[in-house]
Amino acid sequence: MTVDPPYLPPYLRIAAELRRRIASGDLAPGDRVPSTRRITEEWGVAMATATKALAALNQEGLVRAVPGVGTVVTEPDRGGAGRGAARGAGLSRERVVRAAIVLADIEGLGALTMRRVATEFGTSTMALYRHVPSKGELVRLMSESVFSGAPSGPEPAGWRPRLAREIRWLWSQYERHPWLARAMAGLTRPMASPHAMSYTERTLRTLRGLGLKPYEMIHTHLALMGYAQGVAMAVELESRARQDTGMTADEWLAANETHMDSVQLRGEYPVLSTLFGDEEFDLELGALFEFGLERLLDGVESLVERSHEPQ
C-alpha cells in the first residue's frame, strides 16, 4: 500500500484514493464514482476541490461523464495504443474545448498550450488547428462554454434577489474554474460571445423598469461583474499557491504565524494588531465576496430609491 505525501493538494489526495478504489476493483467499469456533493461530504472539502479531483481522473481517462447518470469508471483500454491515442479518435471542436477546460481547471491557464492539448489526444498540434484556429480562440470558446449554463431553480421575487442570484452564479463559475477570471476580456472590451452576452442580458433584465437611466443599468452590471472578477483573481492565485506549496491557506497561515506575530509586536501597526484580540478571524474568499456583494447591492438599492425621488 502506498502512502500519499502529506503535502499533496487535497484534490490530488482525493483523486489518489479514488484511483486506488478503481485499481482494486472496488469501483468497476461502469460503476458511478462519488459525485462532487458526495466528495464534499466524505472529505469535508469545497465543491471546487471535489470538481478538480474528478477532473484529474477524467484527464487520466479513468472516468467519464454520462448524461443523466453521472461520472462513471471507464472501460479499460484493451487496444494497447495508450490513453492519448484512444482519446484522439473522433476529434472535434467540442472535445478539444472540453479537454482544454479540464487541463486549465487542474493546471491553470499558464499550462494551456495547443501542443499540450494535442498531447492529451495523442495527435499533432496541426490536427487541433483544423478545429480551433488559435489558443486565443480556444480560450474564448472555453469561456463561452462555461457561460452556457445558468442559475437553476425558480426565479426569486424582487430585483435584488434576482440580481444577487446572477452574480452568485457567476462567482460559482469563477470558483469552479479559477482560470476564468483572467481569461475574460476587460470590461471595456467585451467578447462577442452569445452565451456571455446572455448572462449580460439576464442581469440587465433584472434592472429593467426600476427607473434607472441606460448608463446606470450598464454601469451597475459592469461594476458587479468587475467586483466578482476582481475577487476571483485571488481564487486563481490561491489555487496556484496551493499547488506550489502543497498547503491550504489555513496551513500556510499556521506555518507563518510566529513570523507574522513578531512583525505585529513591533508596535508599528497598532490598529491592525489589536483589531481582533481573542476573536477568531477567518479570511475566506467566499465570505469576503458575500460581504462586498451585499454592500454593492445596498448601493444599487440606494440608487434605485433616488431614481424615484421628485426632481
Whole-angstrom CA distances from 289 to 82, 155, 164, 175, 301 are: 44, 22, 12, 11, 18
Read off the pLDDT band of 5 (50, 70, 90).
very low
**What pLDDT, on the 0 to 100 scale, is given for residue 255?**
67
The per-residue pLDDT for 257 is: 65
Give Cβ neighbours of residue 212 (< 8 Å, ≥ 6 apart): 220, 303, 304, 307
Maximum CA extent, the chain = 77
pLDDT tens digits for range 115-172: 889 888 888 888 888 898 888 889 989 999 999 888 988 889 999 999 999 999 999 9
Q: Provide the CA 201 distance to its chain's centre, in angstroms.
A: 22
